[in-house]
């Protein structure tokens, strides 16, 4: 659906986007992850034909963003970081205006506006002036604006920034419901958001592409060891030494005591060996009590920091 | 399709003028100043014709024919032109500056409409506000028609001139507004450029070649013939090319904004 090749954009002598290439399949949700000023917004602006690229090509649904910008614009819904709202307008009139400039036929406009008011749950504020709405509602009106012409591609620039936790969850749910029929690119610097909503992640830093993969694969690829956590009831020293004897275990540490001999053991193992079964067997054989056994993958935060900070 | 897009922009722009106080303030301001000038001019005309009639009676001559077109309407059109020079930048200052500031430029520039359609929509919205501003001055004309006998054609040509010069002012203001996201800068910048185009007309008095070129470029000088009742095609061409050039510069400015980022 979206093909980006060797995209570069220069502002003065600063490379905002530096030779980025990626593809997005139809119906996919792609997360754009990066620290502030990494080039996320610039890339999105190029895809929405707001800015031209200095070099490289980008295609949306087979149309070049530079040569066929009108065709691309018809197929894209864009929510910039600050929702583009006319503050003096009433919500419904505003959406009507957007429907007009998005090229929706006059007789379909009313229906589409209704539809989008319902989908974004802003039916109750449709007669209010946009300038008087709360931030959460404005964000939703912004989303409604991007959705109104039912675009193939949705580009959302930090859609959950400056919302309260409840609104964040609502917007995330909304985005998740949109996948399937729409191809979605969303940028964020909030990491859990990516693992929660996106099927694939692009990490970008200082204009350069650092990694493209699913959140799980990224986690898998980047960890040098697997971590497991066990909550076991039993004599500490005996447990520790017995666990250490299991082949594959590289380190055991007792981290937290509970009363009655219970403790939290952190175990590091060689990568790509799953020892959970053997560990459970060991516990049972020794007649200890097992309260919890869980693998502790490397969190996205750790990956992110690892990728975006220079050693 | 093309017309529909222009109408969409035009419609929103015009509504936004009339939901904010700006349209009313601008129209009221114009009418107060224009009304004052009309009153002063009509008053001095009445004084003059009264004195002329008295004099004629004293010398037992036929009462003189004083020309209301020459003495009132011509000056009125000229004055209206000057008032517009100060007021039009207030109409145009928000047209692009506000979109840039509030981020709505990202909406219109990523929608399937062209830059030209956006510019035309905004230009015609400004024009419409201008027309609704000068339309009430027909009342003055009506007063003169009821109690006087002005010629109609010079009035018509005068208003045509006003519309053309107003359009040129709007084109300049639109361009200046596209350069900045600050409305005050857009107003002052527009005013300065328009004043410049007025002032260079004075250079014509010097009689040199450059002087006559500069005076040809002056926006106000071309209004004079219209005010007199002469519709000269060269003035129409001048104003229309001025408007086109202004809109073209606006187009370049919007496009270059993309490259500057």
Residue B178 sits at φ, ψ, to 5 deg, of -75, -10
Nearest to A11 among B102, B107, B261 (CB): B261
A-chain residues near B258 (CB < 8 A): 50-52
Task: Tell me which chain B residues have a C-beta less than 8 angstroms from the C-beta of A45.
Answer: 106
| pLDDT tens-digit profile, chain A (311 residues) | 888 888 888 888 888 888 888 888 888 888 888 877 788 888 999 999 888 888 888 988 888 988 888 889 999 999 998 899 999 999 999 999 999 999 898 899 999 999 999 888 889 998 999 999 988 889 889 989 999 988 989 999 888 877 778 878 888 888 878 777 788 898 887 777 777 778 888 888 888 888 888 877 776 666 656 677 888 888 877 888 888 888 878 778 777 676 667 888 888 777 667 778 888 888 888 888 888 887 776 566 666 666 666 54
Chain A interface includes B256 (CB < 8 A): no
Give which of B101, B109, B111 to mutate to test A binding, by max A Cβ within 10 Å: B111
Picking from B106, B117, B256 by the largest number of A CB atoms within 10 A of its own CB, the best residue to mutate is: B106
Which residue from A42, A87, A103 is facing B102, i.e. has the nearest CB? Answer: A87
Closest-CA distance, A168 to chain B, in angstroms, reads 22
Pairing mode of beta strands A29-33, A183-188: parallel
Which residues of chain A neighbour B104 with C-beta distances below 8 Å?
Answer: 84-86
Element (H, E) at B192: helix B183-199
Find, in chain A, the residue whose alpha carbon is nearest to that of B101. Answer: A84
- Give CA–CA dist A115/A129, Å, rounded: 20
To test the contact with chain B by mutation, choose from A97, A145, A156 the residue with the greatest count of B C-beta atoms within 10 A, namely: A97
**CA-to-CA dists, residue A131 to A86, A97, B102, B192, angstroms:** 8, 16, 11, 33
Determine, for residues A84 and B104 on separate chains, whether the beta-carbon distance falls below 8 Å.
yes
Q: What ipTM describes this predicted complex? A: 0.86
Cα distances (Å, whole numbers) of residue A66 to A6, A49, A54, A60: 14, 7, 11, 10
Nearest neighbour of B104 by CB, restricted to A11, A50, A85? A85
What pLDDT digit, counting tens, does each position of B63-110 carry? 777 777 778 888 889 999 999 999 999 999 999 999 999 989 999 999
Taking the CA atoms of B182, B186, B192 and B196 in sequence, report the sign of the dihedral they define.
Answer: positive
Q: Which residues of chain A are at the B interface, by a Cβ-Cβ cutoff of 8 Å?
A: 9, 11, 16, 42, 45, 48-52, 70-71, 73-74, 76, 78, 80, 82-89, 93, 97-98, 100-103, 145
Q: Closest approach of chain B CAs to the CA of A105, in angstroms?
A: 10
Q: What's the whole-model pTM score?
A: 0.84
Cβ-based burial of A106 (10 A; exposed 0-12, middle 13-18, buried ≥19): exposed
């Amino acid at each position: 659906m979206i093909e980006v090749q060797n995209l570069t954009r220069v502002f003065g002598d600063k490379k905002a986007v530096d030779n980025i290439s990626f593809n997005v399949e139809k119906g996919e949700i792609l997360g754009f992850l990066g620290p502030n000023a990494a080039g996320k917004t610039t890339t999105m602006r190029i895809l929405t034909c707001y800015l031209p690229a200095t070099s490289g090509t980008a295609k949306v649904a087979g149309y070049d963003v530079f040569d066929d910008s009108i065709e691309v614009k018809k197929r894209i819904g864009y929510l910039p970081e600050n929702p583009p709202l006319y503050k003096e307008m009433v919500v419904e009139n505003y959406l009507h205006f957007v429907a007009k400039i998005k090229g929706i036929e006059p007789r379909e406009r009313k229906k589409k506006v209704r539809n989008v008011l319902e989908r974004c749950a802003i039916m109750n504020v449709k007669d209010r002036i946009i300038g008087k709405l709360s931030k959460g509602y404005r964000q939703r009106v912004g989303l409604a604006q991007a959705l109104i012409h039912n675009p193939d591609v949705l580009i959302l620039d930090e859609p959950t920034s400056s919302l309260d936790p409840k609104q964040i969850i609502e917007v995330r749910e909304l985005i998740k419901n949109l996948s399937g029929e729409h191809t979605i690119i969303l940028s964020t610097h909030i990491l859990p958001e990516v693992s929660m909503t996106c099927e694939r992640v692009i990490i970008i830093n200082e204009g350069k592409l650092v990694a493209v993969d699913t959140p799980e694969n990224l986690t898998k690829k980047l960890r040098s060891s697997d971590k497991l956590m066990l909550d076991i009831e039993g004599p500490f020293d005996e447990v520790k030494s017995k666990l250490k004897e299991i082949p594959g275990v590289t380190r055991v540490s007792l981290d937290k005591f509970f009363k009655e001999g219970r403790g939290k053991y952190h175990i590091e193992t060689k990568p790509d060996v799953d020892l959970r079964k053997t560990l459970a067997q060991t516990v049972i054989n020794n007649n200890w009590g097992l309260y919890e056994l869980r693998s502790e993958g490397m969190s996205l935060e750790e990956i992110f920091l690892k990728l975006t900070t220079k050693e | 399709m093309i017309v529909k897009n222009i109408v969409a922009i035009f419609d929103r722009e015009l509504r936004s003028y009339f939901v904010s106080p700006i349209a009313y303030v601008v129209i009221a301001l114009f009418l107060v100043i224009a009304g004052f000038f009309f009153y002063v001019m009509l008053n001095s005309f009445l004084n003059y014709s009264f004195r002329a009639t008295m004099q004629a009676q004293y010398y037992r001559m036929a009462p003189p024919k004083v020309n209301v077109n020459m003495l009132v309407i011509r000056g009125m059109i000229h004055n209206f032109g000057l008032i517009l020079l100060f007021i039009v930048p207030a109409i145009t200052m928000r047209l692009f500056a506000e979109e840039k500031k509030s981020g709505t430029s990202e909406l219109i520039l990523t929608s399937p409409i062209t830059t030209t359609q956006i510019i035309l929509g905004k230009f015609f919205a400004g024009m419409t506000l201008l027309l609704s501003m000068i339309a009430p001055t027909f009342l003055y004309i009506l007063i003169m028609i009821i109690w006087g006998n002005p010629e109609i054609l010079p009035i018509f040509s005068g208003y045509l001139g006003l519309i053309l010069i107003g359009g040129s002012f709007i084109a300049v203001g639109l361009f200046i507004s596209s350069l900045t996201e600050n409305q005050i800068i857009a107003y002052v910048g527009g005013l300065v450029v328009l004043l410049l185009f007025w002032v260079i007309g004075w250079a014509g008095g010097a009689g040199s070649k450059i002087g006559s070129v500069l005076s040809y470029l002056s926006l106000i000088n071309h209004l004079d013939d219209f005010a007199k009742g002469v519709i000269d095609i060269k003035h129409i061409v001048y104003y229309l090319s001025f408007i086109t050039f202004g809109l073209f510069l606006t187009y370049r400015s919007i496009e270059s904004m993309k490259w500057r980022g």
